[in-house]
Structure 1
Amino acid sequence: MSEAMKQSIRAGLLPAGSTVPSSRALAGDLGVSRGVVVDAYAQLVAEGFLVGRAGSGTVVRDVARPPSRPSVSAPAGRVEAPPYDIDLRPGLPDLASFPRAVWLAATRDVLRSLPDEELGYVAPWGAMALREELADYLKRVRAAMVEPDHLVIVTGATQGLTLLVRMLAETGHTILAVESPSNASQRRVLGRHISNILDIPVDDEGLVVTELERTACRAVLVTPSHQYPSGVTLSPARRSELIRWAQRVDGVILEDDHAPEFRFDRGPIGCLQGLDPQHVALVGSASKSLAPGLRLGWVVAPLVLHEMLLAAKRDDDFGSPVLSQHVLARLLANGAYDRHIRRTRRRYMERRDALVTALAEELPDWEMSGRGGGLHVMLRLPAGVDEERVCAAAADRGLAVQGTRAMYGSLPAPHSLIASYARAPAGVLTEAVHRLAAASTSVRTVTTGSNDPAIRRVRPATALDYF
């Protein structure tokens, strides 16, 4: 009854100053005991909806009505995306492949056996069960040099990189070198924690270390196993050059181990951290292998930074969710994680093949890179074809692809696109390429540059587009 009266007062149906019925009269009208009405009136008086006045009964207090809900507009600088029925933008794995039944079974096993104290405030750097299993996995699959005590479980790779960059800034680093091209959203986040982001070009062998050596930088972020977005692998010669650079300047290499499990032309390539654990911090996650919604990642930092990393993780959030850590540990221990990787690798390879075949047939003059692994390919557009126009024309046909211009930072950006094959079956990928070819044909040769108002800019795909 009190809730109904509150709503009536807020809506103005019981106007301010009006007298409500006596408790006896209202009780008779409603067919309830007088005590129920007395208690309701007392509650409404206590909450400020009614006020008792001597000689005039109980009246409605003047209560401010809630404001009408404002219309929500898109944040400044963002363009509302048109509806897509095919989305080839990168950022997500095939979420339909998440091993729900296996995860559910492991969750039940964990809940049956997990000690009560493990659900409390445990070590902020992660459950020991996961750190032990993960250390074995990283040594076996990634050739990492790591022990459980040196692993820190984080809430995704972004948190791991953010903690490391904050630590570098606190210890006097003012410059972070990044690959060009690289993840634009990631560089924007990290740029909030260090004063200067420096772009270093990438070629067919990966990061151009000679360009890095010309700078005063002592920290660099790289994706050596599968460079994002070009897909190239850091060559053995460049790996050696990069390690020698770090040793010479006493620098730090932040290794973002991006989608290392999904290689189709060879076995997984060992991580840089295994070559020099004193100068390389390894950052990985389960976002591409399982699902980003799990928010599970890990960091192996050089020993000189390890204690700082423990304190940074503790102070940042006091630890990542524990239950999912134990479930992942169970999947690593019983081999279910390895089996899942093998299944999804086959699925991604089949989809990659379908996309590559369709591109070769319909867009043979588009240069392709990154087909050896990962979840996408990068496509260099022919001379005279503008990526923004192609993206806009594709969007008009219900197809979402992503341009790469924002990923080059301060360096010159060739016109390129990224097309992910992770979430689309073969037939859909064939249709997507057909639409992309039609979009390419429909756009005119660029003569005026990227500020041409005729170009309808399409919102770029970042991690934020999936929130």
Structure 2
Amino acid sequence: MLSTLVRIGRGVRSNFVADSQTNLAWATLLDLTGTGPVHQRLARALRAAIRTGRLPSGSAVPPSRALAEELGCSRWVVTEAYGQLVTEGYLAARVGSATRVAWTPDTAVTSLGPARAARTRTTAIRYDLAPGLPDLRAFPRRRWADSVAAVTRTVSVTDLGLPDPRGHPLARRTIAEYLRRSRGAVATADTVTICAGITDGVTRVARALRRLGVDAVAVEEPGWPRLRAAVAGAGLSVRSVPVDRDGVRVDTLDEVRAVVVGAAHQFPSGAVLSPERRAALVRWARAVDGFVVEDDYDAEFRYDRRPIAAMQGLDPSRVALLGSVSKILSPALGLGWLVAPGALVFGGEAAPPVLDQLALAAFVDRGWYDAHLRAARRRFRTRRDLLLAALARAIPEGTVDGTAAGLHVLLHLPAGTDAGAVVQSAARAGLSLMALDDYRAERPATPTPVLVLGYGNLADGEIAPAVATLRTTLDRV
């Protein structure tokens, strides 16, 4: 017998307020198949739901009478199952209050004994030096909420219908205006597609390329693994191309007609594509009847000079521009854009929710996006300076590399240092960071002694203790 617990009242799941009457686990699917009396099968199903996390700690289970009515059994069956789980420590019952889930993963760990518990318990991250995130503490909650509220009040009935797969026309027009103004892009509402971020944009382009007969796409090495996965997921072969201090090596683009590049700030090398390489890349695309997919990663964050324009403006018919709000606002919003020639627009994909698109358009139109970006640029410039100073004091044998831009730096360690071992040891000390080799398609036989240190999601006051923890980790390794 398979049954769904009835949702009574609000039925809101919450892990944070254990005593709240809105913390009700009344919509959990229970599998009562199997052998044995019904009360034993119910206890077994509830126990499994608790251990797998479908019933989190603090969740209230339904009153025995309500659950018995839903299951079509006697109330005794439910009270017997609850009593068994209370005895085992999975549930806690209090007079005058709901019966709640008492089991947590930590409870299970402590029952394993000291040796196994030490291997099973994960260390909480105290300092986040991993790249890829902006300052999530600075997310403009109030202004974003105001944008969402304004859009919700004024959205037309028509806009609440089936969405345009390329995005709402107003959002596309707003993004096009922003990109023309801030990135020097050649963009109109007709050439902009609203997508769920860079990975979604690469997936769309890769599917369009496959439709055009392209069977392989070059991707920078090292680079974001998600870009490789997106290309491969579209059914195309992935070819690795090297990167040096001037960006992608155009002379290595053999037997491909498309390449994904980080022109403004390549991740993770930090290289900026030189003017000569930009021109050479466009000439290559024209010569092979191919395309360049420009990942505009970290383009807005440049600290020693003004941000450079997008390469897409050199030849909009050959270069597609990808961007998102992930490094400026938050990756949780799932909003990005693709500016591409008609040949690279592949229909059928679903755009992000219309209300989210319109909220972003309102946020940009009101000037809040630019204001947040200016504040973030000042904050990250200061934070980068603090990090470089702390590294120079604590790790003088290391060398920092990378353009004064973006949200990460490279720390070159003495030859022979196992950066992978440093990452693992640091994690046990509560410090999150990455090694350069983590971003390679194939790890080299000799590990590269380079760490990739992000400072976007690290408070200024955490920089000194984070670097001190890294110093201790290096000494240990």
Shorter-chain TM-score above 0.5: yes
Matched, 1:262 2:298: no
AA in 2 matched with 1:378: L
Aligned pair in 2 of structure 1 residues 81, 88: CA closer, same or farther (>3 Å)? farther
For residue 371 of structure 1, report the CA deviation from its aligned partner.
4.5
For residue 289 of structure 1, report the CA deviation from its aligned partner.
0.9
Matched, 1:300 2:339: yes
AA in 2 matched with 1:426: D
Whole-angstrom CA distance in 2 between matches of 1:81 and 1:271: 42
Q: Of the candidates 330, 333, 336, which is equivalent to residue 362 of structure 2?
A: 330
AA in 2 matched with 1:190: V
Aligned pair in 2 of structure 1 residues 272, 84: CA closer, same or farther (>3 Å)? same
AA in 2 matched with 1:193: A
Whole-angstrom CA distance in 2 between matches of 1:303 and 1:252: 12
For residue 356 of structure 1, report the CA deviation from its aligned partner.
0.7
Q: Secondary structure at the match of 1:289?
A: coil
Name 1:24's counterpart in structure 2: none
Q: Of the candidates 347, 365, 380, which is equivalent to residue 379 of structure 2?
A: 347
Aligned pair in 2 of structure 1 residues 383, 126: CA closer, same or farther (>3 Å)? same
Q: Deviations over 1:275-323 (max 9, x none)?
A: 11111111111111111111101111122233xx2x132xxx3x32011
Q: Of the candidates 84, 87, 91, which is equivalent to residue 125 of structure 2?
A: 84
Further displaced range: 255-264 or 181-190 = 181-190
For residue 48 of structure 1, report the CA deviation from its aligned partner.
6.6
1:117-266 superposed matches below 5 A: 117-212=158-253, 215-266=254-305
Name 1:421's counterpart in structure 2: 455
Whole-angstrom CA distance in 1 between matches of 2:121 and 2:244: 34
Q: Secondary structure at the match of 1:281?
A: strand
Whole-angstrom CA distance in 1 between matches of 2:376 and 2:232: 34
Which structure has the bigger radius of gyration? Answer: 1
Q: Secondary structure at the match of 1:185?
A: helix
Whole-angstrom CA distance in 1 between matches of 2:331 and 2:191: 23
Q: Secondary structure at the match of 1:350?
A: helix
For residue 13 of structure 1, report the CA deviation from its aligned partner.
10
Further displaced range: 387-396 or 124-133 = 387-396
Matched, 1:433 2:433: no
Name 2:39's counterpart in structure 1: 11
Alpha-carbon RMSD across the aligned residues, in angstroms, is: 3.6
Contact residue 218 and residue 239 of structure 2 kept, 8 A = yes
Which structure would you say has the larger RCO, counting Cα contacts within 8 Å and 6 or more residues apart? 1
Whole-angstrom CA distance in 2 between matches of 1:421 and 1:323: 31
Whole-angstrom CA distance in 1 between matches of 2:144 and 2:452: 31
Q: Secondary structure at the match of 2:379?
A: helix
For residue 422 of structure 1, report the CA deviation from its aligned partner.
0.9
Q: Secondary structure at the match of 2:452?
A: strand
Q: Deviations over 1:356-376 (max 9, x none)?
A: 111122223323223411111
Contact residue 352 and residue 371 of structure 1 kept, 8 A = no
Further displaced range: 384-393 or 291-300 = 384-393
Aligned pair in 2 of structure 1 residues 183, 114: CA closer, same or farther (>3 Å)? same
Whole-angstrom CA distance in 2 between matches of 1:232 and 1:80: 39
Whole-angstrom CA distance in 2 between matches of 1:127 and 1:181: 35
AA in 1 matched with 2:348: A
Further displaced range: 188-197 or 138-147 = 188-197
For residue 420 of structure 1, report the CA deviation from its aligned partner.
0.9
For residue 324 of structure 1, report the CA deviation from its aligned partner.
1.3
Contact residue 135 and residue 147 of structure 1 kept, 8 A = yes
Q: Of the candidates 416, 419, 430, which is equivalent to residue 384 of structure 1?
A: 416
Contact residue 246 and residue 279 of structure 1 kept, 8 A = yes
Q: Of the candidates 325, 329, 346, which is equivalent to residue 290 of structure 1?
A: 329
Q: Percent identity?
A: 39
Q: Secondary structure at the match of 1:391?
A: helix
For residue 198 of structure 1, report the CA deviation from its aligned partner.
1.2
Whole-angstrom CA distance in 2 between matches of 1:283 and 1:273: 10
Q: Structure 1 unaligned runs (5+)? A: 15-36, 51-59, 61-67, 74-78, 444-467
Contact residue 199 and residue 226 of structure 2 kept, 8 A = no
Name 1:358's counterpart in structure 2: 390
Further displaced range: 107-116 or 121-130 = 107-116
Whole-angstrom CA distance in 2 between matches of 1:408 and 1:238: 22
Q: Of the candidates 246, 262, 272, which is equivalent to residue 311 of structure 2?
A: 272
Q: Secondary structure at the match of 1:149?
A: coil
AA in 2 matched with 1:442: R
Name 1:375's counterpart in structure 2: 407
Q: Deviations over 1:25-61 (max 9, x none)?
A: xxxxxxxxxxxx9xx99x87xx7759xxxxxxxxx9x
For residue 12 of structure 1, report the CA deviation from its aligned partner.
4.9
Whole-angstrom CA distance in 2 between matches of 1:350 and 1:82: 29
Whole-angstrom CA distance in 2 between matches of 1:209 and 1:173: 18
For residue 442 of structure 1, report the CA deviation from its aligned partner.
2.1
AA in 1 matched with 2:300: E
